[in-house]
């Protein structure tokens, strides 16, 4: 966002309901509620373009032109969260399977990566695919270096940020 600003492009990064500073309950959220929220934000700020990153491509207003960076399918995101839970359970001497967790999650929700995911969110993620309608697809190879979301620890890469800003500004 700083690199976009330096290029004269204003941008916003909204919090989704239930996330970060939101007063709404995360467990009550669904892809539908997040799609509605992003549409309201886009309308409120009169957004003219969008940059959706990974899972953001599941909830952004697809009618807006713009870019998507490595759009992720909902099941891919869900599989990573379920895998993390089964590994943590195994470390605590418990046995959980991804299939059994998914079945239970569809009915009663699940605690995944420290978040209480409601049944609606899990069911929505299970079949969700990005609704890309002409936005430019950006691949990690276009930015250089490794994917930041695959790192064990959070980090940043100024060169990747600059490359992404150049693509968006172009």
Q: Rounded mean pLDDT of the chain? A: 94
At residue 122, the pLDDT reads 97
pTM of the model: 0.90
Could you read off the pLDDT of 103-158 as tens digits, one per residue? 999 999 999 999 999 999 999 999 999 989 899 999 999 999 899 988 888 788 99
Q: Spell out the residues 6+ positions from residue 43 whose beta carbon is closer than 8 angstroms to its own.
A: none
With bands split at pLDDT 50, 70 and 90, how would you rate the model's confidence at 95?
very high
Burial class (CB in 10 A: 0-12, 13-18, 19+), 46: exposed
pLDDT at 2 over 80: yes
Portion of the chain with pLDDT greater than 70, in percent: 100
Residue 26, phi then psi, degrees to nearest 5: -60, -40
What are the boundaries of each domain within the chain? 1-23+33-72+130-170, 74-128
């Amino acid at each position: 966002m700083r690199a976009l600003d330096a290029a004269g492009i204003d941008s916003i990064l909204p919090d989704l309901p239930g996330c970060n500073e939101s007063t709404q309950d995360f467990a009550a959220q669904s892809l539908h509620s997040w799609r509605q929220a992003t549409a309201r934000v886009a309308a409120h700020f009169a957004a003219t373009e969008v940059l959706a990153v990974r899972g953001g491509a599941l909830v952004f207003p697809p009618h807006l032109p713009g870019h998507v960076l490595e759009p992720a399918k909902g099941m891919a995101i869900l599989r990573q969260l379920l895998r993390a839970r089964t590994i943590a359970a195994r470390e605590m001497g418990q046995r959980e399977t991804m299939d059994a967790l998914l079945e239970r999650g569809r009915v009663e929700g699940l605690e995944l990566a420290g978040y209480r995911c409601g049944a609606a969110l899990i069911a929505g993620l299970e079949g969700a695919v990005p609704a890309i309608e002409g936005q430019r697809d950006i691949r990690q190879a276009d930015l250089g270096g490794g994917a930041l979301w695959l790192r064990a620890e959070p980090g940043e890469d100024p060169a990747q940020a600059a490359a992404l800003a150049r693509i968006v500004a172009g």
